[in-house]
Structure 1
Amino acid sequence: MENNLEQLVSSLLNSSWSKDLIDIFEKQTSQTILSFVSVSLKSLITIEHWAWEMLSKDSRQWINLENCIKFFHVLHSFNMKLILNNNGIESDTKILLLIPSNIDWIDGILEQIKSSHDTYLILVSLWFDTLSYLIHQLSDIVYTPTMLHLNNRLNHDFIMTDQYKFYLKQLYESNLTQSIFTAKQHFYLKTCSFSLNIYLWLESKKFPLISEEIIKFLSEDYLKMILIHSYTMDSWSNELLSCIAHIIGLICSSCWWSGQKSEQLELIVPSNDLTYEHIFALIRLVSYQPFHQYISAELYNDETVLMDACLIFLFRTVRKYDLGCFISSQTNLPTTLWSIAQISPYDPIRMYAYGFLAEILSDKQLKEWKISDNMCEFYFHVLEQAWNHPTKKWKKITIPYLLKGFLSLSSNDIIQTATANFNKIPLFIELCDHYPVAFDIIWALS
């Protein structure tokens, strides 16, 4: 296989688009990809670097070559299989193959965006989205010079621009025509937002991005969009779903960049009336059942991004303004959260659903709903994973954050009983030496 691929790589580098090369990649499956990568790593590195270099060149030289475009799409499909493979392909191998090794390639691509052919924009979006999926899986790579440079440029040259606002304002109408959804709009609203959203949640201190600027620049348009389209989910196209999901994700992550900067909420919803309107809009989105069916544990798809961001937004807004009693008594959100906690295959969404329920339900309601065992079992699973992980995090969530969440519940009789039944007091004792809040939990449980 490696000899055949190595011969075909030579033709690729000479701009000869071999059908045999396309066939080799099309035949790769989730079952074959591990051995294929192991045997052909050297050639694959050459091919992946070739792809980035080609995208950075004047696209007019190759954009109309049918086999060239087909190979890009086949290679993208292969790259997604590579990211989703968790059965033997090492993280370092994924990074070696997928992260561009030359910052000039990034610049060459971005310089062509504003005047490019739709076909080119589609390919660039696929390649940058692949990086975002990879970073979501392997968070440490966001600190590499290449990724820092990319996100700096996406923010400065695309998000903080009148063109981004123009595309966002296009979404004001409740009945949108499909013609407004162009490849360039997709790049701005989905691809750029996705990359910055993933980045901001990692709380980097190295990136010279002030999230407050994003909030001030986009909040008014964001709020108008969400208040309109939280009533129109039945008519959403896939393109609209993608735009809305990633815009909400960007605004949400901007609010809590580098910590819980909840004061940023006041820039989005400067009055009490708007706060309630925003909350009800998010509840309508979270409660839309068809979205629940597409939440994915494998791929951070549009529905997963949307539900993740809306739940975080809701949870922290309700906590900031102390609206738990209002939410539990005046809305159907608790029922929705319980359903999501039971069916979601994506653990972070389950965690926020359970955490939200714990925040808004009274002790009496927790007992009536009979959810304490499920909640505690999931929580202890998450806490133990974080404690045993070298970074002392679970899905980028720190142990102190997990412990603070449990502290608010630990005085509840039902939670105390469940903790004892699961025999987790020794775990909190072990954590005491490193996290003083664990001692507070033990005290509350006693």
Structure 2
Amino acid sequence: MDEKHDVRNLKFIFTAMRELSIITLEHVNMQKILNDPKEKFDLIIGEWMFNELYAGLPAIFECPFIWFSTVESHWMILKIIDELPNPAYNSDIVSNNSPPFTFIQRVQELSYQIFGVLDQYFVFSPIENEDYERIIAPIVRRRGKSVPSFEELRNNISLVLGNSHVSIGHATRLPQSYKPIAGYHIEKVVKPLPQDLKAIMDNAENGVIYFSLGTGLKSKELPSSIKRGLLQLFANLKQTVIWKLEENLPDRPKNVHILQWAPQQSILAHPNCALFITHGGLLSSTETLHFGVPIIGIPVLADQFNNIDRAVKKGYAIRVDLTYSLVDDLKVAINNMLSDPKYKKTVKELSFIYHDRPVSPGDELVHWAEHVIRTGGALHLRSPALDVAWYQKMYLDLAAVMFIVLAIFILFFNLLIKQISSSKRDIERKRK
């Protein structure tokens, strides 16, 4: 809130995720698994989160590997299984822009991709390769196996399971080896609410506002002045407010109920839930469409800004920034959303699109995981783009050939002109 840190800076995110991957692989229990030759796996699914070190694990276990992407499809994940998407209509993972882009936004998206690719190839990839050689390669050697290059392993991915769906994001062009499975985490049968919470929601004649900033940012860490301001704001509402907060606040209004843990899906599924105030994480964003509840988004980190901005553009969300004017801004947003039926109407329409699928996302996830195992890595889904050099994709070799041919033609033409001119001069001299 004091803007001391840029939480959307890619270098900051890459560094943090690299440290997390190293801590995970070097954990004592993980080391037991990695160093035990009796451990066998049919498939490994690793979370892609701005670090690709886990792609080295198949060198140990000799089995297929699937990346699970927790965010909408973007160039950093698509380039692993296909090629870079066109930045003229595909936004960067940390970009606020939403297509169709203006001229300035297209230039921004192009610059994000160019500098991102340069950072990845010349800064982060060499670091990941060093981590692979230090952590994973020695285990492979101890098993008496040849050590494949990290580049070979990171280009040998079977699938990407993406936490995305067209109802949430955009109609992006996707390769065969990318499978959108947003909503896989949502229970097919919603668990019933605890009796006390059910009674609160059943008796909320004017509806319920559910407020949660997720697990990454704890509401208790908000400044005291903001928490007091939020209580005053909620006290003046006729709606019942359920606030996921990790502490009890004194002098709570009667219409405000604090839960240190909240059964979010069960709350959103209740017919009296009128509004969800959220941080905009993709799981929460997906649940809002699944249950058809409009949102006010307070983005905090990474893709949350993009998620909320997309929801705003689709028409079922209002964005409020995490600043010291949060209470005043939130008051305006709540009044606007509850007084305008278009938000609820739009989210219900998108919820229908979200649900109108041939199979549930959970069943699809299971199918594709088993398909990779049954087909020995799903090589038939591999994009041919992975086997074409970047300069060939851009036809730079053709451009070079055409340039050489043109240069030869110009040279030949110049020589011919010189020869003709020389011949004319010779003829004129002979006439004289």
TM over 0.5: no
TM-score band by shorter chain is: under 0.3
Structure with the higher strand share, 1 or 2 = 2
Alignment TM-score, normalising by the size of structure 2: 0.23
Larger RCO (CA under 8 A, 6+ residues apart):
2
Structure with the higher helix share, 1 or 2 = 1
